[in-house]
Amino acid sequence: MRQSMNVKLKIFRFDPQKDEKPYYQSFEVEADPMDRILDCLNRIRWEQDPTLSFRMSCGHGVCGSDGMRMNGICGLACQKLVRDFEEEILIEPLPGFKVIKDLIVYLDPFFEKYNSVRPHLITKTPAPDQERIQPPDHQHLFEEAIRCILCGCCTASCPVNQNKETEAYVGPAALVRAFRYLFDSRDEASEERIALLDHKNGAWGCQTLWKCTEVCPKEIPVTKEIGQIKKRIYDTKHPKE
Amino acid sequence: MIFQHDIVIVGAGLAGLRAAVECADQANVAVVSKVFPTRSHSGAAQGGITAPLGNEEEDHWEWYFFDTVKGSDYLSDQDAVEIMVRDAPRAIYELEHMGVPFSRTSGGKIAQRNFGGHTRDYGKKPVKRACYAADHTGRVVLDTLYDQCLRHEVKFHSEHYVLSLIFEAGRCVGVVTYELATGELHLLQGKAVLLATGGCGRIYKTTSNGFASTGDGLNLVYQFGLPLEDMEFIQFHPTGLYPLGILVSEAARGEGGFLRNRFGERFMEKYAPTVKDLAARDVVSRAILTEIREKRGIGEKDYVHLDITHLGEEKILEKLWEIASFVRIYLGIDPAIDPIPVTPTCHYIMGGIPTDANGRVLADEKGSVVPGLYAVGECACVSVHGANRLGCNSLLDLLVFGRRSGLAMKDVISKYEHPSLYIDPLKMVKDHITKLLSHKGREKAGEIRRKMQSLMMDYGSVFRNEEGLKRGMEEIRLLKESYKDVEIRDKGKVFNFELMEAIELAHQLNLSEAILFSALHRKESRGAHFREDFSTRADWYYLKHTLVFQSSKGLEVRYKPVKITRFQPETRVY
């Protein structure tokens, strides 16, 4: 049965218009165990403090707007329920991203990296009148990768991206999209794609730490896919006799 | 700041992005969106896009044409429907060529599945017509079109909220936007302006729509005294996840799932003997609510069961992965083992800004064109959906008419220069914002919104009657009065969502009134508009489109005829 309970949230706050540095603020809201953390944040905003800022859009894990860190783990606030937590819930912006206000981070660098992998199908032969034929087992190769919603949770969680010395690493989200095109049997630019990925800030930036896979809200086997990119690069450069 | 573009597109869902891709090579195109483009609500579309490709079984555009007209309860304009259905295969192949990762048949062609209301041979039995990528079709098309826009270097003004349309000598010449990150106002001048702002499902308490679906574009046009068409037709999707209202795609039934009441009966057999669970959405939603009203809901509560357990885990994970994940996350149940609790949820608005088949906005019942202004997608009414949209027809609408709007705009921009403006549009908007922010009042926007959403469920959802609609109108007018006394407590300039939501609420209240008013004046039942006091369709009087206007004298309803080219109205049974 539904029952109301008191939920405590400790939230990262920063307003560039008045705060010199960030601080944490505690709130209490009435919530049902089945409520989303996003519902709690909205309740705070609508009933207690309208200045609390965070992004949201679809509310059910499809648009990727509300990536944030909850008790230290990146995820979507609309996909985590109150009952998933005990006691106080610590809410912070995605790590490794510059904070604009409260839980809102600056996304441009993330999308610049994304754009750097040439995220579109490249073909050289003319398109047929109808569809290009693609056997189902070819389509299945990247069917998990196309679940990606660009929420940024993987890249934010990646220790390589978090490290100042290696933050130029293109990051798991961009690599998932690179994988999606590299392993799409319709794409005809694998040489160019491999050249784009074959460097220390490309696929080789991945140190196989699995954090991305752990947090992916769409359960994409991110680390495995990056591994497959590495294998593809290696195999291309070391063709078997 | 002032930006000059050839073409300004408001909204970055499929319609806006498809239009942008069409013109990006030959024009300076800007896309404005209040959310980051890939967060647009088109991404939540799950089940597919229809086209009579015949990849799985025999199909013909004429059958599809008939189904769409019948689905619309004969209120769609058949010239527009014909354009859409005949263009469908081209639109799908084009997406495939752009890279959309469609699911495939064993022969490697685009896979197709059943969807409600889509039949073979003019209603004989269901046909596989919906092209899909598992159950995230909208999302992968959105991603593909976004990627195409990046490739064509379309200029995005992301997280810019449009506050006003700018007219000069009767021509739409741009928009004023509010940059959410800074609170700055910008003037975007365009030789053509396209509204692709989506629907307004957030007017209702139970909805599948995202938070951004507040109908801004609809009201930006309406508040200028321009009409909105067929606003009484609001689609409730039969299967919203109970109690959140999150969409559970018709694909679940397309793949073989069915509905059951508390006695375990497959009740759709009663309501739609031929196609059963694959009837049109208005029919299924009414059936579910009838079961619930007659105490056959599960545990006598307000939901029924959607049963997909017999499909088996493998098929569920391959074809319905997203749905299975929603059910698991939000209800903690496994749909391969337990049935899914569902209830109708506000999903789509068939009506909108009247346009011709090239997206040009129409100013009246005579079809006068508003120069410079275009609209497409859910915010527009061409009308291809009439009184009820068939599943999978919305994405096709966005693609076909998005492209056509793009072509039409590209054709005219060379004829125009950016005018010098006699009034300062930025100042007018700035004064409005200052007034909103400085008002000291007693009302909270959130509270008014909550009341609006409840009363629209009570009086303006699936079952309607005169008494309720009148009461709803009165209550909305009281809320509009309360709105004048709303205080915005956040005075900041950086991501002031309280301010944005207050402005959205003004749009929503106006649209709520337009919906109830249009519904009150249609004294018949047709498609998604069901009147308990007039429970049959009345073609001799109401086979016509409603146009609602707002003026200083209040609201006014006018009508325009439906274009019937091929299919005369018949009794609609599934």
Q: Which of B106, B139, B492 sits opposite A136 (nearest CB)?
A: B106
From its phi and psi, is residue A210 left (phi > 0), alpha (psi between -120 and 50) or beta? left
pLDDT per residue over A127-186, tens digit each?
999 999 999 999 999 999 999 999 999 999 999 999 999 999 999 999 999 999 999 999
Contact B326 A17 (CB under 8 A): no
pLDDT of res. A2:
59
Cβ count near A230 (within 10 Å): 18
Give the separation between CA B126 and CA B392, rounded to whole angstroms.
Answer: 14
Q: Which tokens belong to B465? A: 């009657």
**Closest residue on chain A to B499 (Cα):** A50
Cα atoms in the 13 Å half-sphere on the side-chain side of A140: 9
User: CA of A241, closest CA in chain B: separation in Å?
Assistant: 31
Residues in A closer than 8 angstroms to B493, CB to CB, are 17
| Substitution target from A13, A39, A48, A62 for chain B, most B beta carbons within 10 A | A62
pLDDT of res. B421:
84
Contact A45 B498 (CB under 8 A): yes
Q: Which tokens belong to A234? A: 């290696």
Does position A122 have pLDDT exceeding 90, yes or no? yes
Contact B110 A79 (CB under 8 A): no
Residues in B closer than 8 angstroms to A135, CB to CB, are 104, 106, 108
pLDDT of res. B335:
97
Q: Which of B35, B106, B151 sits opposite A65 (nearest CB)?
A: B35
Give the separation between CA B209 and CA B395, rounded to whole angstroms.
Answer: 15
Contact B148 A123 (CB under 8 A): no
Give the separation between CA B191 and CA B549, rounded to whole angstroms.
Answer: 26
**ipTM value:** 0.96
Q: Which tokens belong to A101? A: 């206000």
Give the separation between CA B234 and CA B240, rounded to whole angstroms.
Answer: 15
Contact A65 B322 (CB under 8 A): no
Q: Which of B93, B133, B444 sits opposite A130 (nearest CB)?
A: B93
Residues in B closer than 8 angstroms to A56, CB to CB, are 211
User: How many residue pairs bridge chain A and chain B with CB atoms within 8 Å of each other?
Assistant: 160
User: CA of A234, closest CA in chain B: separation in Å?
Assistant: 26
Contact A133 B108 (CB under 8 A): yes
User: CA of B497, closest CA in chain A: separation in Å?
Assistant: 7
pLDDT of res. B24:
94
One pLDDT digit (tens) per residue for chain B, 574 residues: 999 999 999 999 999 999 999 999 999 999 999 999 999 999 999 999 999 999 999 999 999 999 999 999 999 999 999 999 999 999 999 999 999 999 999 999 999 999 999 999 999 999 999 999 999 999 999 999 999 999 999 999 999 999 999 999 999 999 999 999 999 999 999 999 999 999 999 999 999 999 999 999 999 999 999 999 999 999 999 999 999 999 999 999 999 999 999 999 999 999 999 999 999 999 999 999 999 999 999 988 899 999 999 999 999 999 999 999 999 999 999 999 999 999 999 999 999 999 999 999 999 999 999 999 999 999 999 999 999 999 999 999 999 999 999 999 999 999 999 998 878 899 999 999 999 999 999 999 999 999 999 999 999 999 999 999 999 999 999 999 999 999 999 999 999 999 999 999 999 999 999 999 999 999 999 999 999 999 999 999 999 999 999 988 999 999 999 999 999 999 999 9
Q: Cβ(A117)–Cβ(A201) under 8 Å? A: no
Range B60-68 contact pairs with CB under 8 angstroms and sequence separation of 24 or more: B61/B85, B61/B86, B61/B88, B63/B119, B63/B120, B63/B121, B63/B122, B63/B127, B64/B88, B64/B118, B64/B129, B65/B566, B65/B567, B66/B122, B66/B123, B66/B567, B67/B117, B67/B118, B67/B119, B67/B123, B67/B390, B68/B384, B68/B390, B68/B393
pLDDT average, residue stretch A92-115: 97
Q: Cβ(A159)–Cβ(A172) under 8 Å? A: no
Per the annotation, the verdict on B281 as an active-site residue is yes
DSSP B357-376: TT-EEE-STT--EEEEEEE-
DSSP B37-72: GGGSGGGG--S-EE----SSS---HHHHHHHHHHHT
How many residues are listed for chain A in this entry? 241
**Closest residue on chain A to B326 (Cα):** A60
Catalytic residue, from B113, B253, B260, B281: name it. Answer: B281
Contact B211 A57 (CB under 8 A): yes
Residue B428 phi/psi, 5° resolution?
A: -60, -45
pLDDT of res. A1:
47
Q: Which of B39, B104, B147 sits opposite A63 (nearest CB)?
A: B39
Contact B140 A146 (CB under 8 A): yes
Q: Which tokens belong to B376? A: 């497409």
Residues in A closer than 8 angstroms to B142, CB to CB, are none
User: CA of B164, closest CA in chain A: separation in Å?
Assistant: 22
Residues in B closer than 8 angstroms to A139, CB to CB, are 101-104
| Substitution target from A19, A118, A130, A177 for chain B, most B beta carbons within 10 A | A130
